[in-house]
Structure 1
Amino acid sequence: MSNTTAEPGPRSPGNEETAAAVLQVDPSAEQPGSPVEAKAIVGRSPGQLAWLRLKRDRTARFSAIVLIITAIVALCAPLIEKITGTSPTDQFTSQLTDFAALPIGYLGGISGAHPLGLEPGLGRDILMQLVYGLRTSLLIAFAAALISTTIGVLVGVVGGYARGWLDSMISWIIDLTLAFPFLIFALAAIPVVENRFFNARDNIPASFRVGMIIATFAIFNWTNTARLVRGQVISLREREFVEAARASGAGTGHILLRQLLPNIWAPVLVTVSLNVPAFITAEAALAFVNIGVTEPTPDLGRMIFNSIQYLSADPMYTFIPGVTIFLLVLAFNLFGDSLRDALDPKSSR
């Protein structure tokens, strides 16, 4: 007895990948001298096939577990604070040395009360700084990725479908934005905008600086998504299913939202998964030029920046946030690569 696999059916409008159909045979139906009767045909969409390939990938499973644990820790930061009874701003200066303000004990003052030690100088608990720093970094990265992807998809779809002068103008804006250096703009724009709304003596709200960083990321990173989506739309706008929709009287909105967008979600999803780790490292880099998240809001990048002066005396203070960023970015990149392979039907993995 053998299972028979049915041939894929004809392509349907709006879907360029044919669903796989698996023919299941009822064992009781196969008798000597009688034909084999099909019990049921189970069809799988391209999304279901991609999900099956993703579940079989051990790298994807491992990276997904790391990311889920990180997200849970970040979301449960207030709960962890209640359990430990320590806030990220509490200072334990009595547990620091008098002459250099270094943590008393081994490995940066690691103890039962402070599992990751204390911060030199201020004596804050590194575990709580790390937990709330994860929350800040992930908030900035995901918000920037969502905003920049939304702008990029809208602009790319309009530019790729419109043609003519509108497409030329959008392409020119994309090229101009890509040519402008991100770091120089961030160094110039963030302080100027802050000085416009606040005086030098004012305490700038942490939410304002976070919003400025997210806006800066979104302004400079929508272009890559727009260029990718524009190329995909240009390759799809002359396909048969689009011509059929146009001939049947469908409007521009229907063609863009119901015909083109469902066929470009795979590369857009991969782009989002790879943009998030890029934003995490970029946000940490801004801390080194003193335009990152300000005190007292915990932040992984600022932790590394503050630890540079204590690198030789207390290397654990640099090691802990550095390894956290490394593992977080590595997990996102590995998951993004696995997602790209799973969504590519021609992939050999």
Structure 2
Amino acid sequence: MPQLPLDRFKVLDLTRIRSGPTCVKQFADWGADVIKIEPPQDEAGYGNRDSSDFQNLHRNKRSLTLDLKTEEGQEVLGKLIDGADVLVENFRPGVKARLGLDWPTLHARNPRLVLGSISGFGQTGPYADRPGFDQVAQGMGGLMSITGLPGQGPVRVGVPIADLTAGLFCAMGLMMALLERERTGQGQWVQSSLLQAQIAMLDFQAARWLIDGEVPGQAGNDHPTAVPMGVYPTSDGLMNIAVNGARMWRDFCTVISRPDLVESPEYATPKARLANRAALNALLYDLTRTWTTRDLTEALLATGIPCGPINSIDAVFADPQVQHLPIVAEVDHPTRGRQRLVGQPIQIDGISPVMRSATPDCGQHTDEVLSELGYTSDQITALRNGGIA
């Protein structure tokens, strides 16, 4: 097995649903020893293990079952914490305090431990104890107000973007904390929340309000501030075209055989094109419909104008560039056979993430992990018989 960048770290995964597992997946894929701690009964809320979603999220981990509500379960967890580098959780603040997973308690026990906490709305403040849910964060964080066609009403995006980005931001913070630990010898508490992550992902749309005092609205498939940039019809479908700057505008007009538009007062400048977007797009739709998607794509790319087809998911993975990139990973599952998973979008020269193992069965590694902690076979049997492990 090749060495991986994070293979010297032990990570305790007490997360569930999506934001936390997304965070932990970054460590698991890049070599960390991740121990997923689950209730012995595989309680509701931890997901359908047979689903493609669960199988994709939890690869490269070991599974330990443990009842954290018991004294014996807490004792096992304490031994794990003593030897861990990172613990990741997404409990509500009050719950983690009851389980002894609050920062002061953990830091006192293992000063080198780095704690990652993901919440819906933050660890403090008026909403700290509210349950978090991706679509709620999309709504409260403003994303739904700028997604969809003008006048359509709020629309959620097609992936749980708040969950995903909160997990990724937390993973980035944890890695920074591990780097800082190399200098100070001390762990730190890393926090992210769905609401903060969603607001951060508003990016320039948030800046339009914070700096310019402008409240963005829905722009549908059009870019909010640039024209022509959006979805355009062709004779056999739809495609995205992104014309940005004077040079691209001139070349675009040449490709569509309308060089007269370059100097037209209504369309000559970015400000004029934005003000007259509806009229310009209506004109362009009639022109792009005379092309096939492939022909117009090739003509525009020849001039350096970004564009491309709008693919269904199956078409995405049939694309030759996608097949060239190492974005699909494969792993052998003991009962499901060879599985294709969504790989890592990061490439490092000379290093590749390895799909070492498929998503484990609930408690698959309980005996193994307990043995590593020094428990005898009789003690492990007693813990199992007592419903603790």
Give TM class, smaller chain. under 0.3
Structure with the bigger RCO (C-alpha within 8 Å, sep 6+) is 1
Relative to the length of structure 2, the TM-score reads 0.21
